[in-house]
Amino acid sequence: MALRVLLSTTLLSSLLSLVLFSAVAAVISGRRGRRTAVGFFHPYTNDGGGGERVLWCFVRAMQEENPDLDRAVFTVDDASPQSLAARALDRFGVKLLRPPQLGYGFSRVLQHSSMYNNDAPIAISWLSWSVGSCAHLAMVNSSWTRSLIDCLWKIPPLTKRVYPPCDTSSLQMLPLGKPVKSPVIISVGQFCPEKHFILIKAHSLQLEAFAHAVGILDQDMPRPKLQFMGSCRNKQDEERLWKLKERCRELNLDNFVEFHRDASYRDLVQLLCGAVSGLHSMIDEHFGISVVEYMASAVIPIAHNSAGPKMDIALNEGGRKTGFLASNKEEYTEAILKVITMAEAERLAIAAVVRKCTQRFSEQKFFKDFKAAVQPILAPKSSS
């Protein structure tokens, strides 16, 4: 079997959520008469984040585009094809045409190298550059990521921006009206090691800004509630979650904060249905699927003023605001207070605009753009 293309749904090292579609030239030239295969390199398939959802949408798109094409997911996780297919449906609402094949070797070599070898980050960075610079096609998930890849790989004509697939259609069915008598703010983010330092800082910032807002809110105003939703894969993740709960107690927020661990996709939809605003505070996130999910659910986003949310998502629509951008505790506090104290008519007007502008991030748009990008690569070559 000739491995003609390698589809990577995560960049090694810092280029998270980047999707790489490249060909291994030597293999192609030497094995043109054998079957074509597509590999999806995604070390972690159970982190519960937006990157995992993108993976399964990629797999489904390839199944629809070319049902007879051999494909495999390379991961470090011990799981069966059937369990991963069931997880894709339960956690993300993505139904695969059939369970994927699994591969492990290269992924686990990288995992063990990063655990025991201090030179692993350098090697991985070099490998990423080497693979990217000879790619036939690179798909990036945002304008910010594109600018980064153009600088690193220097293949602008071969780099295509394809926004990640967001479940905007079903979320847009949720009602615009919210239970504003007791406003709920939601925060969706992982408790995993890949983003540990960044997310712990992000969650702490959200807690501190929320505590500040509650402390200065007029006494006659209803008290808001903050709901965290994320996944834990192991004991280390549980320890990170415990630290967040400890910080919550230090800020005297026990009565105002809830933690929802390892919730299903159905649970996420239910929580979004009751929220008036959604928090996002990760610095330089390449895209920000959670922000789009907020907006499709008519949940007004309060996102970090950087990268994907700033350049692609929380943009003014026809001169109308589609959310708030913030960079520090004071700005987040101000935005939280604006949302929970604004008049219902104003909130509904913003929510309607916010929901409408998410159509450009729909699954249908993703499948259309993705298939248009990969079709020239996978199309059978005409014989000379």
Residue pointed to by tokens 């492990």: 104
The pLDDT score that the predictor gives to residue 119 is 52
Of 22-31, 43-52, 264-273, highest mean pLDDT: 264-273
- Whether the per-residue pLDDT at 23 is higher than 70: the answer is no
Cα distances from 236 to residues 199, 224, 242, in angstroms, run 14, 30, 10
Which is more confident, 371 or 118? 371
Once rounded to an integer, what is the mean pLDDT over residues 273-302?
94
- Whether the per-residue pLDDT at 124 is higher than 70: the answer is no
Crossing angle between the packed helical segments 329-341 and 196-216, to the nearest 10 degrees: 50
Q: Please write the tens of the pLDDT for every residue from 128-164.
A: 677 777 888 889 999 999 998 898 888 999 999 999 9
Burial class (CB in 10 A: 0-12, 13-18, 19+), 26: exposed
The pLDDT score that the predictor gives to residue 26 is 38
Q: Give the residue among 185, 161, 190, 145 at the shortest CA–CA distance from 50.
A: 190
Once rounded to an integer, what is the mean pLDDT over residues 29-42?
66
Q: Give the residue among 177, 194, 256 at the shortest CA–CA distance from 230.
A: 194
Crossing angle between the packed helical segments 120-133 and 143-153, to the nearest 10 degrees: 90
Q: Please write the tens of the pLDDT for every residue from 311-345.
A: 999 998 888 889 999 999 999 999 999 999 999 99
pLDDT band at 33 (very low <50, low <70, confident <90, very high): low
- Whether the per-residue pLDDT at 114 is higher than 60: the answer is no
* 187 backbone dihedrals φ, ψ, rounded to 5°: -135, 115
Once rounded to an integer, what is the mean pLDDT over residues 356-363?
90
pLDDT cut 70: percent of the chain above it? 79
pLDDT band at 5 (very low <50, low <70, confident <90, very high): very low
Q: Please write the tens of the pLDDT for every residue from 228-248.
A: 998 887 788 888 889 899 999
Question: What are the structural domains of the chain?
Answer: 2-164+363-378 (no CATH), 168-361 (3.40.50.2000)
- Whether the per-residue pLDDT at 38 is higher than 80: the answer is yes
Distance CA 332, CA 338 (A): 10
The pLDDT score that the predictor gives to residue 199 is 54
- Whether the per-residue pLDDT at 172 is higher than 80: the answer is yes
- Whether the per-residue pLDDT at 196 is higher than 70: the answer is no
Once rounded to an integer, what is the mean pLDDT over residues 216-232?
91
Burial class (CB in 10 A: 0-12, 13-18, 19+), 68: exposed
The pLDDT score that the predictor gives to residue 146 is 94
Cβ atoms within 10 A of the Cβ of 39, count?
Answer: 19
DSSP 8-state assignment for residue 381: P
Question: Using an 8 Å Cβ cutoff, are 10 and 41 in contact?
Answer: yes
